[in-house]
Amino acid sequence: MLLKHGEIFLKGRNRHRFTERLHDNLRIALRGIGGSTWIKDTQNVTVLGGEVPLDALVERARRVVGFASVEPAVRVPSTLDDVTRAGVDALRGLLADRPVRSFAVRSRRRDKQFPLTSSQVDVHVGARVKEALPQLTVDLKRPEVLLSVEIDRKETYLSWTRLPGLSGLPVGSSGRALVLLSGGYDSPVAAHRAMRRGLSCDFVHFNGAPYTNPSSVYKAYALARELNRCQPPGRLHVIALGKAQKQLAVAGAGRLQVVAQRRLMVRTASALAARTRAEALVTGDSLGQVASQTLANMAAVDEAASLPVLRPLVGWDKQEIIDEAHAIGTAGISVLPDEDCCQLLAPPRVSTRAGLPQLRAVERRLDLDEVVAVLLDHVQVMVPGDGAEQSVSGPSCATPVPVSS
């Protein structure tokens, strides 16, 4: 299988660092696949093989951020006869499976000692395919089947199926971030976008316990598990915010309640990030989508953070976000009902321009350092993955919460 590299081919002298990270992530993705595998590095292409079913290799490889495409391939010795024979056999096999009318051959000669140029290989292999399978026509512009030939010194790889990968930068190559993960559409898509820019992501979920049921924890766990398919597993931190939300309401937050809660969340997440060595926070905010996400309110929230707050979706509209959620596999989880802590004690009308003096006046009525310390003292930590069923328990849940596979 040929795994074509994404934008890391643009990197200069430090390209090897990105490639090493990419291969480390691939090895992690291959764990538990049920057989031996091997990885070979060539220029801008990773070759993957093993004693496991091809479908399993394809599925695991397509999870890994950093590969632009995944191409199942056959490997033959780098002789003209072997390459030609393999090309004819490949097209003959395709014709047996489905109707094919046109083809083209595209070769890349990595081994410059090979006796033919890339163009000459194209012509030679194409002519032999046409001779053996006269029902096929050559179409160099829009072929139904594009036979790709990668010629190395000892081995040549032929592929004819190109599956899109996730592209982007290898997860972990840009640092570590902490994602504020709700149960909606937005934050999982933001997390996925952050991963594709090379950020290794942990997650923090705030629920309204003890005043809400644990349904949002179910969803956060399931979402984190789905997102962890694309990275070395990140941890999920669950924080019960309900009592602190009530403290803000009693302190007179009023129409500022939602923004005050968001400030408390990023303040707490910043403190948690110091423990997890995260260098930034990630949220699913989209400018103007809801009243709490106006530019003024975003600025008010950012003022409470001690780390950069990244908003990958700031310019996306809701339908774009929902479409992306379907594409990455989180939409089916996000659509499930739950009790969202953001709705707890929310005023009928949310201030669209929360003033910092008013917010600070509310916060001065609390001992914020103590509030944050208490929240972190009761945090629950899980590592959602593909393993056996796990359970969530702790101060925010009276009984264990089973999380089904």
Q: Which residues are annotated as a binding site for ATP?
A: 180-181, 205-206, 262, 284, 293
Map residue 151 onto helix, strand or coil.
strand
Of 19, 145, 133, residue with least CA distance to 71: 145
- 337 and 213 in contact (C-beta within 8 Å)? no
Query: Tell me, what amino acid is at 405?
Result: S
- The torsion angles phi and psi of 155, rounded to 5 degrees, stand at -130, 150
Binding site members: 180-181, 205-206, 262, 284, 293
- 341 and 243 in contact (C-beta within 8 Å)? no
ω into 210 cis (within 30 of 0): yes
The rounded distance, in Å, linking the Cα atoms of 221 and 233 is 12
The rounded distance, in Å, linking the Cα atoms of 180 and 270 is 11
Structure tokens given for 284 = 């699913």
- CB neighbours (10 Å) of residue 44? 14
Interior CA angle at 325 toward 319 and 327, to 5°? 105
CA distances from 180 to 236, 263, 271, 309 (A): 10, 12, 13, 10
The rounded distance, in Å, linking the Cα atoms of 168 and 63 is 12
Block residue for tokens 């030679």: 124
What is the DSSP-derived secondary structure letter of residue 62?
T
Block residue for tokens 């996730």: 166
Task: Note every long-range contact of 356-361, with CB atoms under 8 Å and residues 24 or more positions apart, other chains counting.
Answer: 356/300, 356/303, 358/256, 359/256, 359/259, 359/260, 359/263, 359/300
Strand partners, 239: 206
- 166 and 122 in contact (C-beta within 8 Å)? no
The rounded distance, in Å, linking the Cα atoms of 156 and 84 is 11
Burial of 138 (0-12, 13-18, 19+ CB in 10 A): middle
The rounded distance, in Å, linking the Cα atoms of 379 and 374 is 9
